[in-house]
């Protein structure tokens, strides 16, 4: 388990601070993550990688010459927010555009995708690539749904070496896509991982058994089998990876491959070498030549006891990119010519101590919104453990923690905005950004959309009426479905948000005051949340474990229903009835 921490909520920030202090000649900290401490050639494509904390050396340890130009770093097992990704990309970019690369998880897809759109709107060309190497997480026919695991390193390395060689953005993106298409990974685990401050692992494996096809966020494996010997583990890994050859690879014999035997946190190097001894023999017997193999901890999951095997079937184009020199804090290959240190200009500081003008009516509505956010935060605090247990049935168990981070950040940002005299829109927009930044992950992105949509509807000048609030919720519902691509029936928060919005709109259009309409809609939300227990998830981290979730409500749907019920009383005396 993770034994050394202070406040668990501050673990990721403190770890990043210490990491930067330990490697001042290779990385420097910027809002949202880290970038190279050395100068990058003007016009070079910037490869910005990222994801949640808890996977070191991924992602911050892979920033340096010959590898990534920057890494956006989220909270533990939670993707960085779009705002964080954008800040890191701006700091890393030197005129050649940005490739944003990440593991293919729902939260990362949402946040990095949003960041790419925002960067393009600012005039910075941006492309995205989600790594999909994990064979166990989807069938070959649905390979686009697969997760990114240790294959991240190979794809990042190919893209970064191509950028270092001076290729333009579209070419760097094509090379990254090629490396991704030719990379396969498969892993096993003997125990789950324990998050900082937690007293139990996210999943457990029975004594004498191992999980097969695990994820790197504490997701349980796809199945179990008896614990093998080291040689038997190697045979399972090799036979599985060789059992699915990428398009264009007819047979392994005579092929050259980049090879990674990756430890997930608690399997020590000597054990990995025992396993790799047999992996090397089996690959040679199959006619595969391992090129610059890597054995060690490269993409981890805190203290998970597990191991994974990754192969990338090299081409004449990919091989020199895999073997090219690199100098990052956690990954070094060959010799690079040391670049000069970059001294950033810090004179242009943003000032968040002011707010746009607002009317007295809107400031009064802002106080109501602040009260609602306080109730929301308190509700999440009370139910955080319950939400984590629900989420752990088929996911990674961090929904309660993520909701706590997000709701606390949103309330604190709203409190500061209210003290400055903000109107309702400004207060909720700042709360939305803070929620997304602090929580990350899918829920962070979606709750940011919800608060932003409601704030935009309320504005900074008028006194909100019940129909205006209902319109804001309707915009939030549409925004969540548009961003997350989920529909009713997918077993997500959409299964509660949509009926809640419909009921609220219908009640306000019928002339009900907000408190009454909200109460009616909250009952619809509670019923809809309970009904998700009968659904199978079709999206998100729970999808590969769909059958396990049957009989348990969706954690995001359940938390939304709890929240809309709890904030009802806030609206009773403070807003117009019509």
Is residue 47 a contact partner of residue 99, using CB atoms and an 8 Å limit?
Answer: yes
Is residue 391 a contact partner of residue 217, using CB atoms and an 8 Å limit?
Answer: no
Question: How far apart, in whole angstroms, are the C-alpha atoms of residue 384 and residue 488?
Answer: 25
Which two structure tokens, joined as six digits, stand for 293? 């193999």
* CA atoms in the 13 A half-sphere facing the CB of 367: 11
Residue identified by tokens 């981290």 is 541
Pick from 126, 29, 38: nearest CA to 71: 29
Distances (CA, A) of 368 to 6, 380, 428, 456, 514: 34, 18, 11, 16, 13
Rounded to 5 degrees, what are φ and ψ at 92? -90, -25
**DSSP character string of 349-367:** ----S------HHHHHHHH
Measured from the Cβ of residue 197, the count of other Cβ atoms closer than 10 Å reads: 15
Is residue 294 a contact partner of residue 327, using CB atoms and an 8 Å limit?
Answer: no
Q: What is the CA radius of gyration of the chain?
A: 24
Which three-class secondary structure state does DSSP give residue 41?
coil
Rounded to 5 degrees, what are φ and ψ at 110? -65, -55
User: Any catalytic annotation for residue 83?
Assistant: no
**DSSP character string of 263-306:** E-BSS-HHHHHHHHHHHHHHHHHTTEEEEEEEEE-SS--TTBEE
Pick from 301, 294, 323, 291: nearest CA to 58: 301
Question: How far apart, in whole angstroms, are the C-alpha atoms of residue 22 and residue 499?
Answer: 51
Catalytic residue among 111, 217, 383, 558: 217
Annotated catalytic residues are 217
């Amino acid at each position: 388990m993770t034994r050394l921490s202070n406040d668990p909520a501050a673990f990721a920030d403190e770890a990043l601070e210490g990491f930067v202090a330990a490697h001042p000649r290779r990385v420097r900290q910027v809002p949202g993550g880290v970038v190279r401490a050395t100068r990058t050639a003007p016009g070079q494509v910037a490869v910005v990688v990222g994801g949640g904390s808890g996977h070191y050396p991924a992602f911050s340890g892979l920033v340096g010459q010959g590898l990534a130009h920057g890494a956006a770093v989220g909270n533990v097992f939670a993707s960085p927010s779009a705002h964080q990704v954008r800040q890191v990309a701006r700091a890393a970019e030197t005129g050649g555009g940005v490739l944003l690369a990440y593991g293919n998880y729902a939260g990362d897809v949402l946040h990095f995708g949003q960041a790419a759109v925002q960067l393009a709107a600012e005039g910075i060309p941006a492309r995205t690539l989600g790594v999909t190497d994990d064979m166990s997480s989807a069938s070959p026919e649905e390979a686009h749904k697969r997760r990114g695991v240790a294959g991240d390193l190979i794809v990042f390395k190919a893209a970064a070496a191509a950028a270092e060689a001076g290729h333009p953005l579209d070419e760097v993106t094509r090379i990254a896509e090629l490396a991704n298409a030719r990379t396969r990974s498969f892993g096993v685990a003997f125990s789950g991982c324990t998050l900082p401050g937690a007293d139990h692992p996210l999943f457990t494996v029975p004594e004498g058994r191992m999980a097969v096809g695990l994820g790197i966020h504490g997701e349980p494996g796809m199945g179990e089998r008896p614990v093998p010997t080291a040689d038997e583990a190697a045979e399972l890994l090799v036979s599985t990876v060789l059992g699915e050859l990428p398009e264009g690879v007819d047979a392994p014999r005579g092929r050259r491959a980049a090879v990674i035997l990756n430890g997930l946190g608690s399997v020590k190097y000597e054990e990995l070498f025992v396993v790799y001894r047999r992996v090397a023999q089996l690959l040679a017997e199959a006619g595969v030549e391992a090129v610059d193999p890597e054995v060690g901890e490269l993409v981890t999951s805190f203290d998970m006891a597990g191991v994974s095997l990754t192969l990338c079937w090299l081409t004449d184009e990919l091989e020199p990119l895999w073997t090219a020199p690199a100098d990052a804090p956690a990954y070094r290959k060959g010799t690079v010519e040391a670049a000069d240190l970059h001294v950033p200009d810090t004179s242009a500081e943003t000032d968040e101590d002011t707010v746009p003008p607002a009317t007295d009516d809107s400031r009064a509505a802002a106080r109501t919104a602040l009260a609602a956010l306080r109730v929301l935060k308190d509700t999440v605090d009370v139910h955080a453990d319950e939400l984590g247990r629900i989420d752990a049935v088929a996911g990674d168990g961090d929904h309660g923690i993520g909701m706590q981070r997000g709701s606390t950040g949103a309330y604190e940002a709203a409190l500061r905005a209210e003290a400055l005299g903000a109107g309702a829109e400004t207060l909720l927009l700042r709360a939305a950004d803070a929620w997304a930044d602090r929580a990350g992950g899918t829920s962070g992105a979606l709750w940011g959309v919800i608060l932003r949509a409601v704030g935009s509807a309320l504005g900074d000048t008028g006194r909100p009426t019940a129909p205006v609030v209902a319109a804001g919720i309707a915009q939030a519902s549409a925004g969540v479905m548009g961003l997350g691509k989920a529909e009713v029936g997918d077993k997500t928060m959409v299964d509660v948000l949509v009926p809640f919005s419909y009921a609220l709109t219908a009640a306000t259009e019928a002339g009900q005051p907000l408190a009454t309409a909200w109460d009616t809609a909250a009952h619809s939300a509670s019923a809809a949340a309970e009904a998700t227990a009968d659904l199978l998830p079709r999206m998100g981290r729970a999808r590969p474990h769909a059958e396990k979730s049957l009989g348990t409500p969706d954690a995001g749907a359940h938390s939304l229903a709890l929240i809309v019920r709890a904030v009802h009383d806030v609206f009773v005396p403070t807003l117009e009835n019509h």
